[in-house]
């Protein structure tokens, strides 16, 4: 039998009562290494002060802890970086107390063009239920599972993970950790407001690249591809060859070049790399 718990650092009902910076969060969602580190460390530190931490600490003696981010295909999602920095901070304490931590990827088959943050609750449920997830069911048996994500809005992802675990016959404790949790009602699009609090144009993306280092993720790749052609050309001309090569590799790894809305900018990128 699965027993689930949930922990979140920040809880909010509206953008007017946020207890975290939407600008920093928006930068994190679009690949800022600086704020991925800050938010991941904060998640770890606040969790280790919580009742949930004591519960799992007492339960997990001699049991391996498996930590996962939100599922992804071939391009990591933003919560992957959040998970990495969480582990960096958390693992030193956990290991010193003779516990074991293992990092594990949850695979997904599809990656959609429509921005998840703009979807209604029904659209989210339909999108997430139609996607195929995979987890190594033999590996997770007999372990404690942590699933780290950046924000809880409607719970569609959480319910999909629980369904997956039930399907593979997992029996044990599962903790969902979030940086932020929406506790309002009827406005899932609030996620989109926070996601784009900073990111308005490719000049904002360029700022992150030049000033805060970049961790490639699905959201930023799609943001770049979705831009107007003239803005895209200006942006690409301002990047070095390595960045453009990596961008092309990530686009192709998720087969974004096959999506009609992305073809123009992808073809332009290929042309620029030839010169």
CA distance 99 to 91: 9
User: What's the whole-model pTM score?
Assistant: 0.92
Give the CA angle between residues 102, 108, 112 to the nearest 5°: 135
DSSP assignment of 77-98 equals: -HHHHHHHHHHHHHHHHHHHTT
Domains of the chain are 2-195 (3.40.50), 202-274 (no CATH)
Contact (Cβ atoms closer than 8 angstroms) between residue 173 and residue 5: yes
Cβ within 8 Å of residue 71, ≥6 positions away: 77, 106, 107, 108, 131, 133, 161
Give the CA angle between residues 162, 143, 50 to the nearest 5°: 75
- Mean pLDDT over 199-203 rounds to 98
Q: How far is CA 9 from CA 15, 117, 193, 199, 239, in A?
A: 16, 20, 19, 23, 36
Q: What is the mean pLDDT of the chain?
A: 91
Q: In Å, how far from its chain's centre is CA 67?
A: 13
Residue holding tokens 């990596």?
Answer: 246
% of residues, the chain, pLDDT over 70: 90
Q: What is the pLDDT of residues 96-107, one digit of tens each?
A: 665 688 899 999
Point out the least confidently predicted range of 86-95, 110-119, 237-246: 110-119
Task: Judge residue 114's burial from the number of C-beta atoms within 10 Å of its C-beta, 0-12 exposed, 13-18 middle, 19 or more buried.
Answer: exposed
Query: For residue 126, which phi and psi values (nearest 5 degrees)?
Result: -65, -40
Retrieve residue 200's tokens.
């308005």
Q: How far is CA 13 from CA 26, 46, 152, 155, 242, in A?
A: 18, 20, 12, 15, 42
CA distance 26 to 192: 10
CA distance 67 to 84: 9
CA distance 149 to 82: 8
- Other CB atoms within a 10 A radius of the CB of residue 87 amount to 20
Half-sphere exposure of residue 30: CA atoms within 13 angstroms, side-chain side: 28
Higher pLDDT, 174 or 131: 174
Residue 120: is its pLDDT beyond 80? no
**pLDDT score recorded for residue 59:** 78
Cβ within 8 Å of residue 140, ≥6 positions away: 66, 104, 165, 168, 170
Q: What is the pLDDT of residues 25-63, one digit of tens each?
A: 999 999 999 999 999 999 999 999 999 998 888 777 778
Helices (H), the chain: 22-29, 33-47, 51-59, 78-96, 121-129, 137-140, 156-167, 190-195, 202-211, 218-225, 229-237, 241-253, 260-274
Look at residues 76, 202, 94 and name the one whose alpha carbon lies nearest to residue 150. 76
CA distance 273 to 266: 11
């Amino acid at each position: 039998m699965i027993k689930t718990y949930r922990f979140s650092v920040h809880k909010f009902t509206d953008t007017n009562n946020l207890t975290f910076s939407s600008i920093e969060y928006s930068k994190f969602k679009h690949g800022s290494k600086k704020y991925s580190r800050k938010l991941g460390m904060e998640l770890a530190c606040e969790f280790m002060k919580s009742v949930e931490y004591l519960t799992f600490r007492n339960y997990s003696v001699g049991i391996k802890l498996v930590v996962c981010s939100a599922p992804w295909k071939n391009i990591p999602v933003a919560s992957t970086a959040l998970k990495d920095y969480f582990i960096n901070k958390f693992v030193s304490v956990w290991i010193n107390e003779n516990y074991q931590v293992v990092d594990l990827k949850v695979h997904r088959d599809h990656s959609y063009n429509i921005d998840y943050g703009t979807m209604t609750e029904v659209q989210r449920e339909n999108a997430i239920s139609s996607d195929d997830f995979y987890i190594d069911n033999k590996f997770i048996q007999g372990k404690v599972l942590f699933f780290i994500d950046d924000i809880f809005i409607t719970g569609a992802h959480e319910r999909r993970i629980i369904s997956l675990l039930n399907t593979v016959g997992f029996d044990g404790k599962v903790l969902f950790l979030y940086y932020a949790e929406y506790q309002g009602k009827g406005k899932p699009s609030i996620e989109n407001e926070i996601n784009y609090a900073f990111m308005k144009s490719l000049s904002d993306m360029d700022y992150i690249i030049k000033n805060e280092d970049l961790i490639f993720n699905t959201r930023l790749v799609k943001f770049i591809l979705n831009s107007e052609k003239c803005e895209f050309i200006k942006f690409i001309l301002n990047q070095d060859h390595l960045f453009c090569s990596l961008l092309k590799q990530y686009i192709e790894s998720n087969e974004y070049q096959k999506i009609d809305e992305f073809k123009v900018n992808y073809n332009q990128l290929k042309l620029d790399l030839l010169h």
